[in-house]
Structures are given as structure tokens and as C-alpha cells.
């Protein structure tokens, strides 16, 4: 997704603007403001648009950055360049503290929480003695390189836009990486991502801190641009405006943040200039228009301007070339002896008075396909959730190769070699098939966020993508590797889920209704694939309703009814078992 | 000590009302009603303007919003423009606010009793609430909580700006509902504070009866639980949203009218008051009415004590109150649900 030349072109364009003869200085000031706003919006793009965490409190983080440098340069006489890391650190530390409290909150609590602490911090800024109360702090020294002091807007312009372009580049790097996939899976599909080792709370905190540091950088620049700070630009109103900027531009896109900043800053300027002429009124007319436009925009184009614009450009994203020379180490497959991979021993699960799984015992051997069948409500999916660690068993034991899975997290169980698909397909619709499948290999990669930011993750990343491509080829979807997962048919999406599960390099594959929604031909292909996997050393446990599919494929069948096991055996035996027939067809008297 | 507690309870009662309205609107429409504060301001200042014998701008705003709502109604029903539909749209969107405007203008410069001013204020703000839902939220009712929240913020900005135009930057006070005072040693009660308690309790009782025992109340609750399911059994979910907004606007206006004799209100005071109702609503988890009411009293109490002991940090303390609450909530129930939209 990161294409170099448009960024370079944009950078060159921005660098050239101040040298255009006759450029009004006022425009440069506007561009400075756009840049400052874009930095914050970019953080919000990652936080809100991509990560799905809404924050109305970003202005407060600008405040931390700005006040940090203001106090350190005026009271302690530090050089502005020295306060840069300190400002970012202050924003980051506060982000950790606030993030630990807030990011675990779901849905609407988070935005409400951010409004609350955004307001609280605004009052704190305006009441604290050492921050100058409502008057703020003035006389902040300008940025300087040697004897060149960046006093006028034209000089600090370069500092601001260097920061914007650098941060845009870093942000795009981050999104296009192992960590980036984890971030993009946060909004939709974090349950699946979690099953493959993504740690959502940690990832959320990471994005939160990243956005805060970007806001802190904007605050630091602002302080040295205005050379004075006061609480007003860091209040709740500003926090709301930053979110507006991100939404206008297109909250899911890095450049949407920059575009949104340009639109909003220019619009505000125009409104402030012309509205009084139109209405002759007193008061904050621009606020009224601003609010109305926000409502209108959400009704007309909730996705923002950037995607609307790019959809009208002729270019299509080019296929990512994958370096195929390196491969991930593969788990040693168990020897083809009659060994038990999964042992479920008298497992029960009670939900209050309801016994969903009642004293169920069965096992899955190496190179064996076991099917778990039963009427609706028989406890099949609950059994799956017990095995994968999503639910803890009320009693009984589940073990893999002799190791008990007691109180293990889903991630730890995935590491042991169990990976799964979901009954309701859980893919990230706006990521490509390749990227979705690569999430499956999350635990097999090592590169962290810092490495991704600086593009030091490329060998690791190439290995992951190679593995993903290999598994996609294995399930026969190579032609669709670059399609967005949301654009595939349901049957194909199920196959993508299998590829993703394979990417975790499992020895036991848990498939939850893999054949549902598949056409006859696709079912045959799936059966062939599963047989090939079994012959390659894989064990498979599947829940399925399609009896034709199960009977033709499974080596052994376990039948559940009302939470209890009523039969177990080869397909032939199950077909004639009177208990099973009664469970499915009702009592035959 | 006690007088701080008394002060806290008076404020807390107001926050409780607002908190209840927020919970109500969120439960029915999933809108986090940031403009709730504007309903407070509009109610209070409309009442104060009426009491001073002038026609408040909000009456004209209701007419303007009605015209917009009419346009939206006609556009939404353009496929089947039956006379009944047009008639209903005209009646609610044009006749209703116009009648209120005429009534207000004819009564404004006369010496009217307080009760009529109050009734007019509630009518005006109620219709504004109704139309606000129709204009800003009904077209995007199906979208995510986030989109609705941003729209709420947008409406808040617009309404606050309009408030400044109508009521000016100066604060206003309204006449008290009752000037009686009496003393139960060591506390001194004013008739106004008694009115605050009485109205709060009465409203809570009315809401309880409404939701527990009336068909519309039950329809609203059904909409809150499952929007699609409610539609399938024949509940007009759009109507539920309008009722919720109407109730919230009226409750907000009542709160405003209750406090405007006690404190001077500015065009932007409502926002802060509304946000404190929020703190209470969040503590109540946006679902529980009793918990919200208790939390509102807590917020009022904390505010009263902190304004006495650390007046500079009053707001900081009130808003910081939310942090431990959020922390407890996040520890108690880790988020598992996925965003759907």
C-alpha cells in the first residue's frame, strides 16, 4: 500500500510552495496551521479510523506537548531541540496512564471518557500556577538551527511540513506491517485476531500512545510557532474539531487526515471572514455553520473526502511483490503413530442452570479427521470454545499431547498448535486476502512496532507474507490473493479462514461448519484439501451439519445431543445408530 | 457541612434528571445526546426571556426547523405522497410550531402567570427536540454509535452558536417558582430547592410509570433492545426516536427552568451542566436509571464539597471522578463485542 513516488512528489510540491514568487505570507500561516492540525488528525486516523477507538481528547495531548516545552524552555532555559524528546515523552507518559484506564473500554465509553478527561485536563491547564493559569506562558524561544531562527511563519513552515511528511511516512509503514495488521483487525474481527495471538488491549494501547505522541509533536511545534501557549487551543472544543478533521478527510486514510486538515482550516478561515458580511450578526456564526456542515457531511459522505477522491483516480494499487526466498521455520509434525493429539476428558460447561456441555469425553488422534455432529443446541460450538480457551471449562480436563489446557489463553493454545475457523466468518473485510491470512502467522513473526515504523521489519515481513501466499496457494485461492476479503463469496471467505488457520502452522485444525454456504464443487475441493492435509500429518476436528460431507470425509464421528455424547464411531456405525436417529428424527415408536 | 450536602443534593437532582434523559435517549436511539445541555440553556433562557416580556428566538427556530423537517419528511415519502401523509407532515412540522409562535407572540408582552411561561418554554423546546431528531439523526439512525456521536457533537455546536445569537453573551436569571423560605435548624430551605426535589422525584416516577405501564413506553423499550425486531412487530422506530428526543428536550428544559432562578445562565452554561449529567449517566453505565440517579447525587455532592474546599479545581475533580469509574468498569467487564455497522 505504500507507494513512494506520490509521497516524494507531494514533499517536493510542499517544499516548493514558499518559493513561489508573490506567495502571500497569510497563506503560509494557513499552511502552517494545516500542518499542525494534520499531525493530530493523522494520529486520529490510526486511532479512530483504523483502530476504531474514538477520542475527543487529542487536544489535551497537544497541550501536554506544548506546555512541556513552554515550561522547560522558559523556566529552565532548555534548548527547544532538547525539549522535543521530553515533550513527546510527557505526552506519551500521560497517554500510557490515560490509555491503561480507557482503551479497554468498549464502544461508546471510550469517546465519553475522552470528553470527560479532555475537559478535566483543560481546567487543569487553566488553573495550575506553574502553567500560568488562564494567561498561559509567553516568551517561548523560537526554534533555531545555528544562527537561523525560525521566527517568521515561512521559516517554521519547513519544520512543520517535514514533521508532517515524515510522520505520514512512518504511519504508512506502521500500517503496512505485522503490527499494522493487528491494528487494522482491531475494529472488526478482533475476536479472530485474538485467536491468532494478537493482543488487542496491548495493540490498542500502542495506537493510543502513537496518536498521543503525534499530538504532542503538534503541540511542541505549535508552542514554538506561536511562541506562547494558553489553555484555549487545548480544550474540549479543539478536541472535537480534530475528530471532525479526521472524519471530513476520511478517517481510515493517512492522507485523509492531511486533506481534512486543509479543508477544515481553510473553511474556518473563509467562514470567519465572510459570514459576518452575510448575516451581519454578532456571535460565533462559524460555529453554527460548522456544526450544521458536520451533520450534513455525515449524512452525505460518512466515509470522508479522501476515499471519494481516490475512487475517482484511475490508478489501482499494484500487486505487492513478495520476496519468496526466505521461509518460516515449520513445526515438526508428529510421527505417524497412533498417538492422541487432543484429549477431552469429562469436560462440562455450565451457564448458570444450563448445562451446555455435559461430561463429554472424546479424543482426536494424529492424522485423523474427527467430526462433531449433533442437532442445533447440542453443545458443539461450546465444545469448540472450551478447546480453544475462549471459555473455561466448568469441570473436566482438556489436553493437547498430554499438556493440560487449564486456564490457558487462546494465544497460548494457538502456540501449542491448535488453530481454528469460525462459524460466522470473521475476516477483516477491508484487508486483502493475503493480509487476512498473514494474521494467522502473527505469532510466528517477531517484528515490533518500532521496527515497522522504521522499515526494519522487512525480512520478517517477507517471511510472513511468503507463508501466507503459500497457504493461499494450498487452498487454491491464489488468484484472489489481492482481493479485499469482503468482496469474496461466503464460500471463498470460509476457505480464506482455513488458509489463515493453516498459517499458524497447527497440528490440529478446528473447523466450525466449514462447508456451510459452499457449492457442491467447492465442497468436493474442500474435502480433497482436508484429506491432503490429514495425509500430510494434520489432525482435523470439525463441526458440520452437512451429513453427506461428513460421512464421506470423517474417519470417526462424535455425536452430541443436549450437551452429552450419545454416540461415537465410524460413519457406517453412526448412520445406523438408533440413538443418533432418534436425536435427529425424533422418537420412533 | 450540612449546607454543602444540601447544595450538592439540589445540584445532584438536576444532574439526575439530565442523566436520566441521556440514558433514555441512548437506550432508544443509541445517540449520546451531547446537545442535552442546549436543551437546558434553551429552556432556561426561553423562560427568562418570556418572563421579561419578549418573544424568544427559539420560537422562530422551531418554525425554521419545522420547515426543514417537512422537507425531509416529504423527500423521504416521495414515493407515496398520499394526502394523509402530507397532511400529517404539515400538521406536525408547520402548524404545530407556527401555532406555538403565534401563541408566544400574542402572550409575550402581557403580564402572564409563571405557569404559562413555563408551559410555553416546554412546548418550544420540546418541538425543537422533536425536529432535531428528525433533521440530524433520523436519516442516519442505522449507522454506528460513533457516527451518531459525531452528529450529536455537530448539533451541539450548531445549537450553542444559535443560542448565542438568540440570547446574547450576557447571562440571565429567571423568576423563581416560589419565594417561600423556611428554616429547619440549621438548614434554610427555599421554595425553589423544594421545587427541584419535588419535580425530580415526580419526573422519575412518571418515567417509571411510562416505561413500565404504557404501550408507548414498552414500545420504546423494545426499540432499545432490538431495533429490527421492534420494526418487525410493527413499532415505528422513527417515532420512538422522536418520542425519546421529545422527552429528553422537555426534561432538559425543565431542568433549565428549575435552575435559572438559582444561578445565572449563559448561552454556553448548559454544555457543562449536561456533561455533569453525563458523568452520572456513565457511572450508571448508560443503562441503569436508579444507578444514574444515585450517581448524579454523588456528582452533585462531590461538586459542592470540592467547590468549597478547592474551588479552583472543582471541574477537574468532577470530571476526574469518571476515571476510577471507568477503571472499575473496564476491570469488571472486558470488552468482547465487535463493532457492527
Instruction: Tell me which long-range contacts A31-34 makes (C-beta under 8 A, separation of at least 24).
Output: A31/A157, A31/A161, A32/A153, A32/A156, A32/A157, A32/A160, A32/A225, A33/A265, A34/A258, A34/A261, A34/A262, A34/A265, A34/A266
ipTM: 0.73
pLDDT of residue A107: 61
Of the ranges A296-300, A523-527, B268-272, B285-289, the best mean pLDDT one: A523-527
Query: Considering the domain boundaries, does residue B337 fall inside one?
Result: no
SS (H, E, C) chain B: CHHHHHHHHHHHHHHHHHHHHHHHHHHHHCCCCCCHHHHHHHHHHHHHHHHCCCCCHHHHHHHHHHHHHHHHHHHHCHHHCCHHHHHHHHHHHHHHHHHHHHHHHHHHCCCCCHHHHHHHHHHHHHHHHHHHHHHHHHHHCCCCHHHHHHHHHHHHHHHHHHHHHHHCCCCECCCCCCCCEEEECCEEEEHHHHHHHHHHHHHHHHHHHHHHHCHHHHHHHHHHHCHHHHHHCCCCHHHHHHHHHHHHHHHHHHHHHHHCCCCCECCCHHHHHHHHHHHHHHHCCCCCHHHHHHHHHHHHHHHHHHHHHCHHHHHHHHHHCHHHHHHHHHHHCCCCCCCCC
Please tell me which residue of chain A has the smallest CA distance to B328: A101
Q: Check CB contact under 8 Å for B313 and A127.
A: yes
Judged by CB atoms closer than 8 Å, whether chains meet at A293 and B154 is answered as yes
Is residue B281 pLDDT above 90, yes or no? no
Cβ(A261)–Cβ(A245) under 8 Å?
yes
What phi and psi, each to the nearest 5 degrees, are found at residue B130?
A: -60, -50
| Minimum mean pLDDT range among A226-230, A322-326, A527-531, B296-300 | A322-326
Measured between CA atoms, how close is A558 to chain B, in angstroms? 30
A27 grid coordinates: 497563506
- Would you call A105 and B336 a contact, using CB atoms and an 8 Å cutoff? no
Q: Is the pLDDT of residue A520 over 90?
A: no
Q: How many CB pairs under 8 A join A and B?
A: 156
Interface mutation vs chain B, best among A298, A301, A390, most B CBs within 10 Å: A298
Domain membership of residue B90 (yes or no) is yes
Q: Which residue of B has its CA nearest to A285?
A: B161
| Rounded Cα–Cα distance for residues A379 and A383 (Å) | 6
User: Taking the CB of residue A2, how many other CB atoms lie within 10 A of it?
Assistant: 15
Query: Which one of A58, A116, A247 makes the best mutation probe of the B interface by having the most chain B beta carbons within 10 Å?
Result: A116
pLDDT tops 90 at residue A65: yes
Nearest CA to CA, how far is A258 from chain B (Å)? 19
Non-local CB neighbours of A236 within 8 Å, separated by 6+ positions: A56, A59, A115, A118, A119, A122
Averaged pLDDT for residues B25-47: 88
Neighbours of B4 (CB within 10 A): 16
Range list for CATH 3.40.50.300 in chain A: 334-417+506-589
The pLDDT, as a whole number, for residue A349 is 87
What is the SS3 assignment for A382? helix
Report the distance separating Cα A1 and Cα A176, nearest Å.
7
Average pLDDT of span B289-303: 82
Please state, in angstroms and as integers, the Cα–Cα distance from residue B21 to each residue in A30, A43, A115, B14, B251, following that order. 42, 33, 19, 11, 7
Q: In terms of pLDDT, which residue wins out, A89 or B109?
A: A89
Architecture of domain A334-417+506-589: 3-Layer(aba) Sandwich (3.40)
pLDDT, position A327: 66
Please state which of the ranges A36-40, A366-370, B109-113 shows the lowest mean pLDDT: B109-113
Cell numbers found for residue A226: 506561536
Show residues of chain B in contact with A124, CB under 8 Å.
313, 316
The x, y and z cell numbers of residue A240, run together, are 472535537
Mutation target among A63, A115, A244 for the B interface, most CBs of B within 10 A: A115
Q: Is the pLDDT of residue A280 over 70?
A: no
Asked if pLDDT for residue B330 goes beyond 70, the answer is no
* Strand segments (E) across A24-145: 137-138, 143-145
Query: Residues of chain A with pLDDT > 90: what percent?
Result: 16
Residue B78 forms part of a structural domain = yes
Contact B326 A299 (CB under 8 A): no
Helix (H, G, I), strand (E, B) or coil at A437: helix
**Residue A455, SS3?**
coil
CA distance A342 to B196: 66
Residue A70 makes CB contacts below 8 A (sequence gap 6+) with A131, A136, A137, A140, A223, A228, A229
CB of A548 within 8 Å of any CB in chain B?
A: no
- Reduced to 3 states (helix: H, G, I; strand: E, B; else coil), residue A287 is helix
| Mean pLDDT confidence for A486-494 | 86
Which residues constitute the domain of residue B259? Answer: 2-177+186-332
Closest CA–CA distance from residue A365 to any residue of chain B (Å): 33
Cα dist. A477→A186, A423, A525, B152 in Å? Answer: 25, 20, 12, 44
Partnered with residue A347 across adjacent β-strands are A360
How do beta strands A508-512 and A539-543 pair? Answer: parallel
Task: Please judge whether B155 and A291 are an interchain contact, meaning their C-beta atoms are less than 8 angstroms apart.
Answer: yes
| Nearest-angstrom CA–CA distance, A9 and A506 | 45
Q: Could A191 and B275 be called an inter-chain contact, meaning their C-beta atoms sit closer than 8 Å?
A: no
Please report which confidence band the pLDDT of residue B129 belongs to, taking 50, 70 and 90 as the band edges: very high
CA-CA distance, B306 to B317, in Å (whole number)? 7
Q: What do you get for the CA distance between the two ends of chain A, in Å? A: 65
Question: How do residues A529-588 score in pLDDT, each as one tens digit?
Answer: 899 988 888 899 999 888 888 888 899 999 988 888 888 888 888 888 888 888 877 765
Q: Of the ranges A54-63, A213-222, A345-354, which one carries the lowest mean pLDDT score?
A: A345-354
pLDDT of A39 reads 94
Q: What mean pLDDT comes out for the span A353-358?
A: 85
pLDDT in the model for residue A207: 92
Burial label, B291 (beta-carbon count in 10 A; 0-12, 13-18, 19+): middle
Structural contact between residues B164 and A283, judged by C-beta atoms closer than 8 angstroms: yes
CA distance A589 to chain B (A): 39
Q: Which of residues 189-248 of A touch B (CB under 8 A)?
A: 189-191, 201, 240, 243-244, 247
Highest mean pLDDT among A27-31, A401-405, B16-20, B309-313: A27-31
pLDDT of residue A282 exceeding 60, the answer is: no
Are A240 and B161 within 8 A, CB to CB? Answer: no
Q: Is A299 in contact with B140 (Cβ distance < 8 A)?
A: yes
Length of chain A: 589
What whole-number distance in Å separates Cα of residue A221 and Cα of residue B222? 51
Q: Is B176 exposed, middle or buried (0-12, 13-18, 19+ CB in 10 A)?
A: middle
Cβ atoms of A480 and A427 within 8 Å: the answer is no
**Total domains, chain B:** 1
Is A513:A423 a contact under the CB 8 Å cutoff?
Answer: yes
Block residue for cell numbers 413499532? B235
With CA atoms as reference, report the closest residue to A341 among A284, A385, A285, A399: A399
How would residue A43 be classed by pLDDT, with cut points 50, 70 and 90?
A: very high
pLDDT in tens, A103-122: 776 666 777 778 878 888 88
CB B120 within 8 A of CB B131: no
Give the relative orientation of helices B215-225 and B2-29 as an angle to the nearest 10 degrees: 70
Indicate yes or no: CB of B339 within 8 angstroms of CB of A108. Answer: no
Task: Choose among B146, B158, B318: nearest Cβ to A291.
Answer: B158
Write the DSSP string, A294-322: HHHHHHH-TT-HHHHHHTTSS--PPPPP-
Q: How confident is the model at residue B59 (pLDDT cuts 50, 70, 90)?
A: confident
In this structure, what are the phi and psi dihedrals at residue A197, rounded to the nearest 5 degrees? 100, 0
Cell numbers placing A559: 455425536
Sort A363 into a burial class: Cβ within 10 Å, 0-12 / 13-18 / 19+.
middle
Segment B296-305 shows an average pLDDT of 85
Cβ contacts (< 8 Å) between B327 and chain A: which residues?
101
A106: which residues sit within 8 A by CB, 6+ positions away? Answer: B335, B336, B337
What's the CA angle centered on B334, arms B329 and B336, to 5 degrees?
A: 135
Minimum Cα–Cα distance from A303: chain B residue: B147
B-chain CB neighbours of A295 within 8 Å are 135-136, 151, 154-155, 158
| Residue A399, beta-bridge partner list | A343, A404
For the packed helices A200-226 and A80-102, what is the interaxial angle rounded to 10 degrees? 140
Contact B320 A120 (CB under 8 A): yes
Chain A residue with CA closest to B159: the answer is: A288
Q: Which pLDDT belongs to residue B341?
A: 36
In the predicted model, what is the mean pLDDT of residues A455-476? 86
Cα torsion angle, A126, A131, A132, A137, sign? negative
**Could you report the per-residue pLDDT of A388-428, keeping only the tens digit for each?**
888 888 888 888 887 888 878 888 888 888 888 888 888 88
Q: How much is the pLDDT for A324?
A: 57
pLDDT score at A41? 93
What local confidence, expressed as pLDDT, does residue B335 receive? 44
Q: Would you call B154 and A281 a contact, using CB atoms and an 8 Å cutoff?
A: no
Structural domain includes residue B339? no
User: Grid coordinates 505522541 are at which residue?
Assistant: A213
Report how far apart, in Å, the C-alpha atoms of A588 and of each of A515, A576, A578, A582 are: 30, 14, 9, 7
Helix (H, G, I), strand (E, B) or coil at A253: coil
**Contacting A residues, span 153-192, partner chain B, CB-CB under 8 Å:** 187-191
Residue B337 is predicted with a pLDDT of 42
Give the confidence band of A1 by pLDDT, cuts at 50, 70, 90.
very low
Indicate if the pLDDT at residue B339 is higher than 70.
no
A100 DSSP β-pair partners: none
**pLDDT above 80 for A346:** yes
Alpha-carbon span A133 to A124, nearest angstrom? 9
Contact at CB, B326 and A101, closer than 8 angstroms = yes
pLDDT (0 to 100) of residue A2 = 47
Q: What spatial distance separates the first Cα and last Cα of chain B, rounded to whole Å?
A: 50
Share of chain B above pLDDT 70, in %: 93
Check residue B340 and give its pLDDT.
Answer: 39
Q: What CA–CA distance (Å, rounded) separates A2 from B301?
A: 54
A109, closest residue in chain B (CA to CA)? B282
Give the closest of B139, B159, B282 to A299, CB-based. Answer: B139
Considering chain B, what is the average pLDDT of its residues? 82
Q: Which residue of B151, B158, B316 is in closest CB contact with A288?
A: B158
Report the alpha-carbon distance of residue A572 to residue A549 in Å, rounded.
Answer: 14
CA distance A128 to chain B (A): 9
Cβ contacts (< 8 Å) between A281 and chain B: which residues?
165
Amino acid at each position: 500500500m505504500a507507494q513512494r513516488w506520490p509521497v516524494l512528489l507531494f514533499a517536493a510540491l510542499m517544499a516548493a510552495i514558499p518559493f513561489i514568487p508573490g506567495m502571500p505570507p497569510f497563506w503560509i500561516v494557513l499552511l502552517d496551521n494545516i500542518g499542525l492540525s494534520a499531525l493530530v488528525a493523522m494520529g486520529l486516523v490510526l486511532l479512530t479510523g483504523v483502530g476504531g477507538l474514538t477520542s475527543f481528547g487529542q487536544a489535551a495531548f497537544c497541550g501536554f506537548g506544548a506546555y512541556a516545552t513552554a515550561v522547560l524552555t522558559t523556566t529552565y532555559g532548555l534548548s527547544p531541540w532538547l525539549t522535543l524528546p521530553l515533550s513527546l515523552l510527557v505526552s506519551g507518559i500521560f497517554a500510557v496512564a490515560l490509555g491503561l484506564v480507557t482503551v479497554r473500554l468498549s464502544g461508546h465509553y471510550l469517546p465519553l471518557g475522552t470528553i470527560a478527561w479532555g475537559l478535566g485536563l483543560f481546567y487543569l491547564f487553566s488553573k495550575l500556577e506553574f502553567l500560568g493559569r488562564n494567561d498561559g506562558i509567553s516568551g517561548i524561544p523560537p526554534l533555531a538551527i545555528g544562527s537561523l531562527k525560525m521566527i517568521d511563519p515561512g521559516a517554521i513552515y519547513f519544520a512543520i511540513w517535514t514533521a508532517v511528511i515524515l510522520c505520514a511516512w512512518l504511519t504508512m509503514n506502521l500500517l503496512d506491517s505485522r503490527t499494522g495488521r493487528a491494528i487494522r483487525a482491531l475494529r472488526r474481527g478482533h475476536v479472530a485476531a485474538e485467536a491468532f495471538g494478537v493482543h488487542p488491549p496491548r495493540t490498542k494501547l500502542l495506537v493510543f500512545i502513537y496518536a498521543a505522541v503525534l499530538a504532542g509533536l503538534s503541540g511542541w511545534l505549535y508552542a514554538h510557532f506561536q511562541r506562547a501557549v494558553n489553555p484555549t487551543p487545548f480544550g474540549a472544543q479543539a478536541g472535537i474539531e480534530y475528530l471532525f478533521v479526521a472524519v471530513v478527510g476520511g478517517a481510515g486514510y493517512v492522507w485523509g487526515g492531511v486533506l481534512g486538515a486543509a479543508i477544515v482550516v481553510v473553511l474556518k478561515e473563509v467562514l470567519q471572514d465572510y459570514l459576518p458580511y452575510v448575516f451581519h450578526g454578532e456571535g460565533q456564526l462559524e460555529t453554527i455553520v460548522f456544526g450544521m456542515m458536520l451533520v450534513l457531511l455525515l449524512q452525505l459522505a460518512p466515509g470522508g473526502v479522501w476515499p471519494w477522491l481516490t475512487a475517482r483516480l484511475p490508478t489501482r494499487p499494484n500487486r505487492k511483490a513478495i520476496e519468496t526466498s526466505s521461509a518460516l521455520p515449520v513445526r515438526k509434525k508428529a510421527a505417524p503413530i497412533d498417538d492422541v493429539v487432543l484429549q477431552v476428558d469429562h469436560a462440562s460447561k455450565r451457564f448458570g442452570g444450563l448445562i451446555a456441555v455435559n461430561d463429554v469425553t472424546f479424543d482426536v488422534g494424529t492424522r485423523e479427521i474427527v467430526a462433531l455432529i449433533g442437532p442445533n443446541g447440542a453443545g458443539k460450538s461450546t465444545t469448540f470454545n472450551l478447546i480453544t480457551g475462549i471459555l473455561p471449562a466448568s469441570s473436566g480436563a482438556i489436553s493437547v499431547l498430554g499438556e493440560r489446557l487449564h486456564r490457558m489463553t487462546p494465544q497460548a493454545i494457538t502456540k501449542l498448535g491448535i488453530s481454528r475457523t469460525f462459524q460466522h466468518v470473521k475476516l477483516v473485510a477491508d484487508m486483502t486476502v493475503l493480509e487476512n491470512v498473514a494474521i494467522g502467522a502473527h505469532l510466528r513473526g517477531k517484528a515490533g512496532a518500532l521496527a515497522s515504523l522504521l522499515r526494519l521489519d522487512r525480512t520478517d515481513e517477507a517471511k510472513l507474507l511468503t507463508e501466507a501466499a503459500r497457504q493461499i496457494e494450498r487452498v487454491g485461492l491464489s488468484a484472489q490473493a489481492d482481493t479485499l476479503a469482503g468482496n469474496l463469496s461466503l464460500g471463498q471467505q470460509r476457505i480464506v479462514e482455513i488458509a489463515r488457520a493453516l498459517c499458524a502452522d497447527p497440528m490440529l485444525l478446528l473447523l466450525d461448519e466449514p462447508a456451510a454456504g459452499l457449492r457442491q464443487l467447492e465442497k468436493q475441493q474442500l474435502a480433497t484439501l482436508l484429506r491432503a492435509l490429514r495425509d500430510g500429518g494434520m489432525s482435523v476436528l470439525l463441526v458440520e451439519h452437512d451429513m453427506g460431507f461428513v460421512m464421506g470425509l470423517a474417519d470417526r464421528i462424535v455425536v452430541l445431543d443436549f450437551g452429552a455424547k450419545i454416540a461415537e464411531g465410524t460413519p457406517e456405525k453412526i448412520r445406523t445408530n438408533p440413538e443418533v436417529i432418534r436425536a435427529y428424527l425424533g422418537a420412533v415408536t | 457541612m450540612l449546607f454543602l450536602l444540601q447544595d450538592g443534593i439540589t445540584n445532584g437532582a438536576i444532574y439526575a434528571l439530565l442523566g436520566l434523559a441521556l440514558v433514555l435517549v441512548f437506550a432508544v436511539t443509541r445517540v449520546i445526546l451531547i446537545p442535552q445541555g442546549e436543551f437546558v440553556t434553551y429552556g432556561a433562557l426561553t423562560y427568562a426571556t418570556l418572563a421579561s416580556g419578549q418573544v424568544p428566538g427559539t420560537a422562530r427556530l422551531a418554525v425554521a426547523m419545522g420547515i426543514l423537517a417537512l422537507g425531509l419528511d416529504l423527500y423521504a415519502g416521495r414515493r407515496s405522497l398520499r394526502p394523509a401523509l402530507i397532511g400529517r407532515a404539515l400538521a406536525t412540522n408547520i402548524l404545530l410550531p407556527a401555532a406555538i409562535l403565534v401563541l408566544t407572540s400574542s402572550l409575550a408582552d402581557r403580564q402572564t402567570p409563571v405557569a404559562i411561561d413555563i408551559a410555553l418554554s416546554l412546548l418550544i423546546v420540546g418541538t425543537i427536540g422533536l425536529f432535531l431528531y428528525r433533521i440530524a439523526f433520523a436519516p442516519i439512525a442505522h449507522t454506528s454509535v460513533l457516527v451518531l456521536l459525531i452528529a450529536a457533537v455537530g448539533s451541539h455546536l450548531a445549537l450553542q452558536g444559535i443560542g448565542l445569537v438568540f440570547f446574547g453573551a450576557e447571562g440571565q436569571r429567571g423568576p423563581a417558582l416560589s419565594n417561600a423560605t423556611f428554616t429547619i435548624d440549621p438548614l434554610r430551605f427555599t421554595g425553589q430547592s423544594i421545587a427541584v426535589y419535588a419535580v425530580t422525584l415526580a419526573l422519575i416516577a412518571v418515567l417509571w410509570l411510562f416505561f413500565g405501564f404504557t404501550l408507548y413506553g414498552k414500545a420504546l423499550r423494545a426499540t432499545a433492545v432490538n431495533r429490527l425486531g421492534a420494526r418487525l412487530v410493527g413499532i415505528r422506530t422513527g417515532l420512538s426516536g422522536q418520542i425519546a428526543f421529545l422527552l429528553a428536550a422537555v426534561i432538559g428544559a425543565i431542568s433549565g427552568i428549575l435552575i435559572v432562578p438559582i444561578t445565572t445562565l449563559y448561552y454556553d452554561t448548559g454544555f457543562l451542566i449536561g456533561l455533569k449529567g453525563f458523568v452520572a449517566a456513565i457511572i450508571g453505565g448508560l443503562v441503569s436509571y436508579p444507578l444514574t440517579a444515585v450517581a448524579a447525587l454523588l456528582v452533585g455532592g462531590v461538586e459542592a464539597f470540592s467547590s468549597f474546599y478547592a474551588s479552583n479545581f472543582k471541574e477537574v475533580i468532577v470530571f476526574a471522578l469518571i476515571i476510577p469509574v471507568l477503571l472499575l468498569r473496564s476491570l469488571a467487564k472486558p470488552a468482547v463485542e465487535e463493532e457492527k455497522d
